[in-house]
Amino acid sequence: MILLGRISDDFALRSSQVGPFGRTLDTESLVPAGGGDGFGGDGPMGKITGRSPDWLSLSLVGNFRLCDPDGRELRVSEKKARVLLAMLATARDRRRSREWLKSRLWDRAFEVQASNSLRQSLHVLRKSLAPWSDAVQADYEHVWLDHVDVALDPGDDTRVEFFEDAPRLGEAGEDWLREERQAFAVRLEDARRAMMEAGNRSPAPVVPPDAATLPCVLIGNPVVVADDVRAEVVAERITNAIENTFRQNGFVDTYDLRDVQSNQLEGKAQDSVSRPPVLVEVRVSLIGQELQATIVARVPATGKVIWTSSIASDRDAAFAIASETMMEFVMGAVDSIEALISRQAGPEIRPTLYTAVHQLFGLSREGILDAQDLLRQFTGQAASPNAEAWLAFGAMLLRNEIRETRDEAVGQAGEHLARALESDPSNAVVRAIAGHYEGFLRGDLATAARHLYESRRVLPNLAFAWDATAMNHIYSGDIERGAQAADVARNLGRYSPYRYYYDASAVIAATLQGRHSDAIRIGRRVLAKRPRFLPVLRHMFVSHALLDEREAALDCYRQIRELDPHFGTERMDHEDFARASNNSLTMIHEGLRHSGLLE
């Protein structure tokens, strides 16, 4: 739960992404790649097999692909129409209610506007499917597919993603997409195991980190297609931000191809570029009166594009790119590329710092302990400042999970952070975790604020730092500034696998501001991912109670008591009781009294 203001409307974010977070370029525009590049070879599309005669066929394995009964591809150009088809295809009986579709595709629209938008999308979709328009049926309550074969099985390609070319969606639509991709990931793992068993092979052994090399990212020279020097400034700013973010995160080895003087391999293993590296480039061009900035990730040996995203704006407005817009653009790119690289195939499965951090954010006792064991193996290596800082973060999480006392948590986390700060005092991640430690565990809000200011100065687009800033404001009683910082963190972490963590701070802020319906709405999304997230459960209990939703409040109360037997007792007033702030404790007491549950 740690986190800027609203993203500027000057830029309309547009993306065409390959991988887990967006749309893909047309396959014709990709340079063919041979097998063994670690990113799925040259076949991003899922195969469609076993079609029934006279039925359309739809594959969501890899890119969206809809074919007529003869196997010819049908073009559905309208983005919402493609998503609508995908949502119907993933329903158990290929049927969704109109209300469900409106809530996912037009969640911020008024009812009349959402209904009109759904009717328009259905009209466009049927027009695109002619003469097979009857494949999409509808009545007053439901929409469904008829005579459409749907392919959701990855088959023998275990390196693809579900609906890779999905467009950007609203919050509710992104939640649906994440859930489907998680389910698809389970099918991928089942397929991988089946292949292992069929070939009588054992899964590749996990290599200890001291024998592994980090994945590698190359930062290329920006490409500018414009005769205005200000476009070059924009390109350089974005490239610098990308390079800094990769380097500060510490999840990959980062080499800047713009730097031709320093020895960037100094102090690193000779095989540090042994994994197929990813080249990340920024391109800025003027198209008429529109300036477009694009981030492209490709396999340099083959030219294969594996991810790309763009923002565009009116030429005159674009040269003064809003910092918030650029930060969200860069953070979304880095989060997406790091997640994509983490799934990169190779001859061995090598645990990395990314693996350990991912386990930490699982927020389970066993996962945190396993992550700490792995992080300890990274200390003493190039990534040791980050590893030490994440070990401190794990100690803070364990205070909640296994009820360590405050003194034990302070001591363990403090030792790790002292080593991290001594090793790399300008590391943004280290500073952000130090700020969280000072504010959450030690209650030294002034020292926390200094650490967090320095973290944001070094890396302005670090969602974790903005989230920690939000909570530090909340600890100090400045709920309004806390809510603003939480909004920034959620925007920056929109494509992070840890988005639910940043959402948690928004739940706390909303409850403390009295925006209880918002707290419950956001909290439900968090609990769908992490049902044992105590800070969210506590504040959702308060919001349900103060809205007189007694049954929902009692349900939260029962869940909390299973995880925290001291909830609702005098023990809550003890300093060892983990709470977001004194304001939170006051509202928890109010909610308990309102529900007649205070012991």
Mean pLDDT of 281-310: 78
Which of residues 362 and 113 earns the better pLDDT score?
113
Which tens digits make up the pLDDT trace of 151-188?
887 766 656 778 888 888 887 788 788 778 777 776 67
Three-point CA angle 273, 277, 282, nearest 5°: 130
Q: Nearest Cα to 324, choosing from 211, 445, 461? A: 461
What does the alpha-carbon distance between residue 407 and residue 441 come to, in Å, rounded to a whole number?
9
Which of residues 566 and 101 earns the better pLDDT score?
101
Which tens digits make up the pLDDT trace of 420-436?
999 889 999 999 999 99
Q: Is pLDDT at 47 greater than 70 in this prediction?
A: no
Per-residue b/e over 467-501, b at no fewer than 16 CB within 10 Å?
bbbbbbbbbbeebebbbbbbbbbbbbbbbbbbbbb
The beta-strand segments (E) located in 417-483 are: none
Q: What is the pLDDT of residue 347?
A: 42
Q: What are the two backbone dihedrals, phi and then psi, of residue 113, each rounded to the nearest 5 degrees?
A: -65, -40
Q: What is the pLDDT of residue 5?
A: 29
What does the alpha-carbon distance between residue 107 and residue 110 come to, in Å, rounded to a whole number?
8
Percent of the chain with pLDDT over 90: 24
Q: What is the pLDDT of residue 539?
A: 94
Which of residues 371 and 84 earns the better pLDDT score?
84
Which of residues 116 and 308 earns the better pLDDT score?
116
Q: Is pLDDT at 381 greater than 70 in this prediction?
A: no
Q: Is pLDDT at 28 greater than 50 in this prediction?
A: no
Q: Is 555 helix (H, G, I), strand (E, B) or coil?
A: helix
Q: Say which amino acid occupies 55.
A: W
What does the alpha-carbon distance between residue 390 and residue 363 come to, in Å, rounded to a whole number?
13
Q: What are the two backbone dihedrals, phi and then psi, of residue 22, each rounded to the nearest 5 degrees?
A: 170, -145
The beta-strand segments (E) located in 194-303 are: 216-219, 223-225, 253-256, 278-287, 290-299
Mean pLDDT of 24-39: 35
Which of residues 258 and 197 earns the better pLDDT score?
258
Q: Which of 183-197, 425-439, 461-475, 577-591 is predicted with the least confidence, judged by mean pLDDT?
A: 183-197
Which tens digits make up the pLDDT trace of 479-503?
999 999 999 999 888 778 788 899 9
Q: What is the pLDDT of residue 266?
A: 60
Which tens digits make up the pLDDT trace of 530-580?
888 889 999 999 999 999 999 999 999 999 888 888 887 877 766 556 556
Tokens of 363: 């927020």
Q: If pLDDT is split at 50, 70 and 90, which confidence band does 323 have? A: low
Q: Which of 314-323, 370-379, 562-571 is predicted with the least confidence, judged by mean pLDDT?
A: 314-323
Q: Is pLDDT at 1 greater than 50 in this prediction?
A: no
User: Which domains does the chain show, CATH number per domain?
Assistant: 25-198 (1.10.10.10), 209-342 (3.40.50), 498-599 (1.25.40.10)
Q: Nearest Cα to 393, choosing from 445, 426, 356? A: 356
- Say which residue the tokens 């993933």 belong to: 90
Mean pLDDT of 126-146: 90
What does the alpha-carbon distance between residue 472 and residue 378 come to, in Å, rounded to a whole number?
29
Q: Which of 14-18, 141-145, 280-284 is predicted with the least confidence, judged by mean pLDDT?
A: 14-18
Question: Is residue 304 within a helix (H) or strand (E), and if so which, with residue range?
Answer: strand 304-314
Average pLDDT, the chain: 77
Q: What is the pLDDT of residue 41?
A: 40
Q: What is the pLDDT of residue 455?
A: 93
Residue 492 makes CB contacts below 8 A (sequence gap 6+) with 3, 4, 327, 328, 331, 461, 462, 463, 466, 502
Check residue 571 and report its DSSP letter.
G
Percent of the chain with pLDDT over 70: 74
Q: For residues 270 and 253, is the Cβ–Cβ distance under 8 A? A: no
For helices 384-401 and 353-360, the axis angle rounded to 10 degrees is 20
